[in-house]
Amino acid sequence: MVLLACGTAMAQLPIYNVGRAPTEAELHPSDGVVGSDGKELPPGRGTAKEGETIYAAKCAACHGKNGEGIYPWPRLVGGIGTLNTPIPVQTVGSYSPYATTIWDYIQRAMPPFPLEKNLTPDNIYALTALLLYWNGIIKEIDVMDKNSLPEVQMPNRHGFYPDPPQSTPNKDGTWQPYWNQAKPAAK
Ligand code: HEC
């Protein structure tokens, strides 16, 4: 925050005559981030079917007609089951542990600058549904909304290592993450 505040002050100093004061939106870049449990998701709904036209108009030019990707833009479909093989294919379908992250990513980053970002929440639900459908994770008629999207089980949901649990309590009875614990004395 201190750095940000300095930035604001500097940008406004007439002597440098460069930059500008950040806008309110730029000062809160993480507002509207949707976390894994999706509780920040807005109202709205969409299905894969509805996503098709939006995808064709706004996404296919870079990500390919069927999400196969057009080099150097990433593919969005496929790769499920390849992550622990010699040629892992990482896509939002094969890699993302949470479906809500796809929604969040599209909302904040797609289509990328300098294209206009003008997707409505309904559009984003529909596009997320389409990508999940193309990846074989949901059915074409499944409605995605703030309740159903967090329920979607992604294939790589359990592919990440959790922090190892602590097996014994500390001397004072508290449980602390293992990295905060003193090393046991060598015997
Ligand atoms: C101008 C080309 C372009 C267009 C149009 C575009 N994208 Fe992207 N997209 C990209 C690029 C480039 C990346 C990778 C960005 C990065 O990794 O920093 C990306 C990444 C993504 C990802 C994450 C992929 C991953 O594996 O992490 C998703 C999901 C996505 N785009 C969806 C969409 C959707 C949906 C649309 C249509 C609304 C869209 N994109 C339109 C260029 C585009």
Distance 23 CA to ligand 1 centre (A): 25
pLDDT of residue 178: 53
Pocket test for ligand 1, best of 50, 53, 55, 62 (most atoms within 8 A of CB): 62
Segments in the chain below pLDDT 50: none
Distance 159 CA to ligand 1 centre (A): 23
Distances (CA, A) of 92 to 5, 79, 135: 36, 9, 9
Q: Which amino acid is at 10?
A: M
pLDDT of residue 119: 96
pLDDT of residue 126: 98
Q: Is 48 exposed, middle or buried (0-12, 13-18, 19+ CB in 10 A)?
A: buried
pLDDT of residue 26: 77
Q: Is 111 close to ligand 1, i.e. is its CB under 6 Å away?
A: yes
Place of tokens 């999400």: 67
Q: Is 75 close to ligand 1, i.e. is its CB under 6 Å away?
A: no
The rounded distance, in Å, linking the Cα atoms of 14 and 28 is 24
pLDDT of residue 111: 96
pLDDT of residue 163: 66
pLDDT of residue 144: 98
